Amino acid sequence: MTELEKGPTGRRRGRGARERILSASQQLFREQGINRTGMNELCAAAEVSKRTAYQHFTGKDELVAEYLRRFDPSVLSGVFDRTDLTPRERLLAAFDIPPTTPLCPYIGAAVELNDPQHPASQYAREYKKAVAARLADTAREAGAADPEQLGEQLALLIDGAAARSRVLNTDAFPTAAAIAAVLIDNAIPATAGDDRQREEASS
Amino acid sequence: MTELEKGPTGRRRGRGARERILSASQQLFREQGINRTGMNELCAAAEVSKRTAYQHFTGKDELVAEYLRRFDPSVLSGVFDRTDLTPRERLLAAFDIPPTTPLCPYIGAAVELNDPQHPASQYAREYKKAVAARLADTAREAGAADPEQLGEQLALLIDGAAARSRVLNTDAFPTAAAIAAVLIDNAIPATAGDDRQREEASS
DNA sequence: TGCTATGTACACCGCCCTGTGTGCTTACAG
DNA sequence: CTGTAAGCACACAGGGCGGTGTACATAGCA
């Protein structure tokens, strides 16, 4: 999406089938899940010949891994890079995921693939660790006493909200945000150099 | 498992194929997931003829729903019924799920089936609500200011720990328990009639 | 203009899946 | 002992799946 993608050789000939394949993956894998989306269907949606798809990806497994790697982490990086917010606000903003996101695709992939060795599962693990690390960094910036712990806790809240939203078909992120607010206030010493306005989450 | 199961007619003839089928479901669906477990494999594991299986269940969907309905909620009821613990201890004990449980099967089913209308998905929703309700009851018993909110929050923590454990292949329940302790202490007024020993979770 | 990488169209393979049809055997109650 | 419900063995239908083979079309650079 961000930039016109080059083929495997890097010469960028043809008409960008690879991009269309990955774009269709984003939509279909998320809407229907990985296992319920066949390669035929995916290629039809991408308006790409099946043969072409298998010239770009050795198999569905590789495509799935690339799909996760390419997943636009709009929520993630979009929040952490905002300089208009204090660190504490950034931590809370991570829970503002309004209507979209049927389920964090990393959780979905881990469940559907059911194989920790699968490249996609490995990447999902890396991603989750990376999110926790960025949360920990921001927590440190916000002056948390134990930033690593707070980062891990907030990451768990995000995953909990995602999973619970999926099962119950409702938005659980407000609940998670309320918990996050409590944890953040508990973890940041009162003398931290941050604007500590106290906001109660009353639903 | 609890009681010898009767066939569809209730006469209990034969040699209890239905029980073996459900028992095998418990094992295989949990170990391998639902979609990755074929009926052939399942029947072989249950030492049951495929024909017999389809005489007990109209289809795999019905079997899956019954598998969830029959899932031994040892953690759930086992914890809530313990009278040797104070309400507060019972809330915390819900996070003592030591080694087992690859993933809460309800989350797994919701992800794998990807259909909110599926009977199993509907039951998963009911179950999750029931857990939150029992947590809320216990929270009320423990004297929480807003027991419904605390129940929902603790339920979210459990789901978060389950999901995160699955993706990262590590045990996230201690982290969730630490958060729970904070929430519980924050939600229960200091004057609540409960033993309030302060326990810090330092990992 | 031609060369080559890229993409196309579509039939096809082998596999595994859910689910059935059929005829036979066994357990158990009366 | 006998009738009947329960279970069994096994082949097979029908379909979707991931993936391939083949012959052909096109885009873009030299």
Model pLDDT for residues A128-154, shown as the tens digit of each residue: 999 999 999 999 999 999 999 999 999
The architecture that CATH gives domain A17-70 is Orthogonal Bundle (1.10)
A6 touches strand D (CB under 7 A): no
Nearest Cα neighbor of A182 from A92, A94, A96, A97 is A92
Assess B101–A contact: CB distance below 8 Å, yes or no: no
pLDDT of residue B193: 45
pLDDT of residue B82: 85
Residue with the bigger pLDDT between A40 and A101: it is: A40
pLDDT of residue A83: 82
Beta carbons of A161 and B163 less than 8 Å apart: no
Assess B124–A contact: CB distance below 8 Å, yes or no: yes
DSSP state of B4: P
**Which CATH superfamily groups domain B74-187?**
Tetracycline Repressor, domain 2 (1.10.357.10)
Query: What mean pLDDT do residues A146-165 have?
Result: 97
Assess B177–A contact: CB distance below 8 Å, yes or no: no
Assess A33–B contact: CB distance below 8 Å, yes or no: yes
A198 touches strand D (CB under 7 A): no
Closest residue (CA to C1') to nucleotide D28 in the complex: A13
Residues of B in contact with A167 (CB under 8 A): 106-107, 110, 121, 124-125, 128, 159
pLDDT of residue B74: 60
pLDDT of residue B6: 37
> pLDDT band for position A101 (50/70/90)?
low
Residue B73 CB partners (closer than 8 Å, separation 6+):
B127
- Is A74-187 the same fold as A17-70? no
What nucleotides of chain D have any atom within 7 angstroms of a protein Cβ?
5-11, 16-23, 27-28
Beta carbons of B149 and A32 less than 8 Å apart: no
Q: What is the Cα–Cα distance from A46 to A16, expressed in whole angstroms?
A: 11
Q: Please determine, for residue A109, whether its predicted confidence score (pLDDT) is greater than 90.
A: yes
Of all residues in chain A, the percent with pLDDT exceeding 90 is 70
Assess A184–B contact: CB distance below 8 Å, yes or no: no
What nucleotides of chain C have any atom within 7 angstroms of a protein Cβ?
5-11, 16-23, 27-29
Q: What is the Cα–Cα distance from A87 to A79, expressed in whole angstroms?
A: 10
pLDDT of residue A78: 75
Q: Please determine, for residue A41, whether its predicted confidence score (pLDDT) is greater than 70.
A: yes
Query: What mean pLDDT do residues A60-79 have?
Result: 84
Residue with the bigger pLDDT between A101 and A45: it is: A45
Residue given tokens 């040699």 in the structure block:
B15
Output the CA torsion sign for A157, A162, A166, A170: positive
Spacing of A116 CA from D29 C1' in Å: 45
Closest residue (CA to C1') to nucleotide C4 in the complex: A13
Domain ranges within chain A, ordered by starting residue: 17-70, 74-187
Could you read off the pLDDT of B9-67 as tens digits, one per residue? 434 445 788 999 999 999 999 999 999 999 999 999 999 999 999 999 999 999 999 99
Contact A165, A104 (CB under 8 A): no
Q: For A44-127, where are the E strands, in sequence order?
A: none
Assess B37–A contact: CB distance below 8 Å, yes or no: no
pLDDT of residue B2: 33
Of the candidates A33, A160, A186, the beta carbon closest to that of B157 is on A160
pLDDT of residue A51: 95
CB pairs under 8 A between A and B: 125
Beta carbons of B157 and A156 less than 8 Å apart: yes
Residues in chain B predicted with pLDDT less than 70, given as ranges, are 1-14, 72-77, 98-101, 190-203
Q: What is the Cα–Cα distance from B95 to B81, expressed in whole angstroms?
A: 15
User: How distant is the Cα of B48 from the closest Cα of chain A, in angstroms?
Assistant: 26
Residue with the bigger pLDDT between A132 and A198: it is: A132
Contact B185, B198 (CB under 8 A): yes
pLDDT of residue A14: 52
pLDDT of residue A13: 42
